[in-house]
């Protein structure tokens, strides 16, 4: 087993739903980084049974909205000098911009070049967001 507990500086993404780690990895573009990254899958968890976990040795700024949308419940811990300096628990963001796109072919966001479309959380349970222009529902 590799010892990954001693992270000097970086970010730990914990409590990722088991099986979702790789998706998070891709969605955050971690495959494009040169930093040391560890993806652990199916780690034993007292709270969740099994979970995925990602450790990144970097001071990169992550898009927490993407992460919250993809995997609400993820715990993000920032590590400096081997100590946790900041910890936050993600939840579904109220608004997302530039992540979702509208599926309605008649929506103005699909017929005109308007830039990133803002979506507002419409149904938390179903992770549905409403388009700012036509109110059509979208999910990741």
- Contacting positions for Zn ion (CB under 5 A): 102, 104, 107, 131, 133-134, 136
CB of 99 to Zn ion, least distance (A): 14
**Which is nearer to Zn ion, 32 or 106 (by Cβ)?**
106
Phi–psi pair at 26, nearest 5 degrees: -70, -45
**Residue 131, SS3?**
strand
Q: Is the dihedral of CA 100, 74, 76, 34 positive or negative?
A: negative
CB of 140 to Zn ion, least distance (A): 16
**Which is nearer to Zn ion, 38 or 136 (by Cβ)?**
136
Phi–psi pair at 132, nearest 5 degrees: -70, -20
**Which is nearer to Zn ion, 90 or 102 (by Cβ)?**
102
């Amino acid at each position: 087993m590799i010892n990954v507990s001693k992270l000097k500086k970086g970010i730990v993404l914990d409590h990722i739903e088991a099986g979702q780690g790789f998706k998070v990895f891709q969605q955050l573009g971690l495959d494009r980084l040169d930093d040391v990254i560890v993806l652990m899958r199916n780690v034993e968890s007292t709270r969740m049974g099994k979970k995925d976990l990602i450790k990144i040795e970097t001071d990169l700024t992550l898009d927490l909205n993407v992460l919250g949308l993809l995997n609400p419940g993820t715990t993000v811990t920032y590590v400096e000098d081997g100590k946790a300096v900041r910890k936050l628990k993600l939840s579904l963001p109220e608004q997302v911009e530039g992540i979702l796109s509208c599926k309605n072919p008649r929506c103005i966001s699909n017929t005109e070049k308007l830039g990133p479309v803002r979506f507002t959380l419409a149904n938390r349970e179903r992770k549905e967001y409403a388009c700012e222009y036509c109110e059509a529902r979208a999910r990741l």
